C-alpha cells in the first residue's frame, strides 16, 4: 500500500518497522536486499524517488515501511515541506510503529541532517537504530574508523550510541542480522 496520508495507512495492528534516511543513502537497495527481491522498492540514481509512505506486508505478520528520504535539495520547497509533514505525522501518530531504522552511508562523516533527525526521534521518544549502508565500499579498517568516528559524534549529545547494523545491499552483508533482530522483536511482542 502506498499513500501520502498517514490516515490512509493500513488499519491492522501488525507491527511496523520504518526505514528512513537521507536521499540516496541506498534505502530502496537495502529493502530489496532484505526481501531478496530486485524491484520491490524502486531504486533510482536520482535522489528523491520515494515520495510516498510504502507499506510492504512481510510473511503476513509485520510491515516494512519505506519512507521518503529527507533532506534532498532537488525537490521543490513545497514538496519538501509536504514530505517532512507526512514523515513527522507518520512518526507521531502510528501506534503500530515498533522501531525506526535510520540509514546512514558509512562512507561519510556524520551529517548534520542525520544528527538532527535522530535528535527529533529522541525528543519524540521513538526507538531507533542506525543502519550503516554501503559497507562493501570501504576496506574493513576504514569502515571501523568511520563507525568509531560516528560513535564519538553521537556521544557528544547522546548518553550512548544507539544499536547499529552494518549492511551492504550488493553482497547481502547484515541481511540475516537485521531480519533476525526484527523477528526477535516480533516474537517478544507475541509473548507479552
Structural domain includes residue 11: yes
Question: Range of 44's domain?
Answer: 2-186
pTM: 0.91
Question: Collapsing DSSP states into helix, strand and coil, what is residue 144?
Answer: helix
At 114-168, the pLDDT tens digits run: 998 999 999 999 999 999 999 999 999 999 999 999 999 999 999 999 999 999 9
Specify the number of domains making up the chain: 1
Q: DSSP label at 109?
A: P
At 41-91, the pLDDT tens digits run: 776 555 555 578 999 999 999 999 999 888 755 556 665 565 578 889 999
pLDDT at site 51: 73
Alpha-carbon gap, residue 71 to 135, rounded angstroms:
22
Residues in the chain: 192
Give the CATH number of the domain where residue 170 resides.
3.40.50.300
Amino acid at each position: 500500500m502506498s499513500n501520502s496520508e498517514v490516515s490512509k495507512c493500513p488499519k491492522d495492528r501488525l507491527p511496523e518497522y520504518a526505514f528512513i534516511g537521507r536521499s540516496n543513502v541506498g534505502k530502496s537497495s537495502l529493502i530489496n536486499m532484505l526481501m531478496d527481491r530486485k524491484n520491490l522498492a524502486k531504486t533510482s540514481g536520482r535522489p528523491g524517488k520515494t515520495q510516498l509512505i510504502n507499506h510492504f506486508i512481510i510473511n503476513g505478520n509485520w510491515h516494512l515501511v519505506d519512507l521518503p528520504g529527507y533532506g534532498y535539495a532537488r525537490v521543490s520547497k513545497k514538496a519538501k515541506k509536504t514530505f517532512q509533514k507526512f514523515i513527522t505525522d507518520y512518526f507521531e501518530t502510528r501506534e503500530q510503529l515498533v522501531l525506526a531504522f535510520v540509514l546512514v552511508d558509512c562512507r561519510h562523516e556524520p551529517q548534520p541532517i542525520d544528527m538532527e533527525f535522530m535528535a527529533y526521534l529522541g525528543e519524540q521518544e521513538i526507538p531507533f537504530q542506525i543502519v550503516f549502508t554501503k559497507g562493501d565500499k570501504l576496506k574493513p579498517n576504514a569502515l571501523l574508523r568511520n563507525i568509531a568516528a560516528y560513535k564519538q559524534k553521537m556521544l557528544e549529545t547522546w548518553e550512548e550510541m544507539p544499536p547499529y547494523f552494518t549492511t551492504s545491499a550488493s553482497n547481502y552483508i547484515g541481511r540475516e542480522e537485521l531480519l533476525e533482530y526484527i523477528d526477535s522483536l516480533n516474537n517478544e511482542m507475541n509473548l507479552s
